[in-house]
Amino acid sequence: MKFVKMISSAANYISSIVLPGSAVGIVSFSDNGNILSNLIIVNSDDDRDELLNALPKSAVAATCIGCGLREAITVILLKQNKHIPKSNSTPLNTWASEAGRRWRPGPPQ
């Protein structure tokens, strides 16, 4: 149930709250981080649909929130030279707590 609420919240954010011209990317995490969508400048319903389709479809038991944050930072850094707005915020939407392993900032180990 928590996962469904999280995805619903993320879908609402993408569909209704993200302002036109905003850059949005999506990462997921389990026992590692995964980039589901690099930054997309949201200017149309098609852009929103692309992001909505990138949302995870199911949850896994392992959680490495720090790994997800590392991938979010990677997505933000990949925006260089792409004419994407310079201000950044990284909303963290999760249904679980950090578990499984210790996270340290820096490159993947």
| pLDDT given at position 109 | 45
Cβ–Cβ under 8 Å, residues 99 and 62: yes
Q: Cα–Cα distance between 14 and 16 in angstroms, integer?
A: 6
Q: pTM for the full model? A: 0.73
Q: How far is CA 20 from the centre of its chain?
A: 18
Mean pLDDT of 70-82: 74
Q: Determine which helix (DSSP H) or strand (DSSP E) holds 23, and give its type and residue range.
A: strand 23-29
Q: Which of 65-74, 77-86, 89-98 has the lowest mean pLDDT?
A: 89-98
Q: What is the pLDDT of residues 11-69, one digit of tens each?
A: 999 999 999 998 898 988 888 888 899 888 999 999 999 999 999 988 877 778 888 88
Structural domains in the chain plus CATH codes: 2-77 (3.40.50.410)
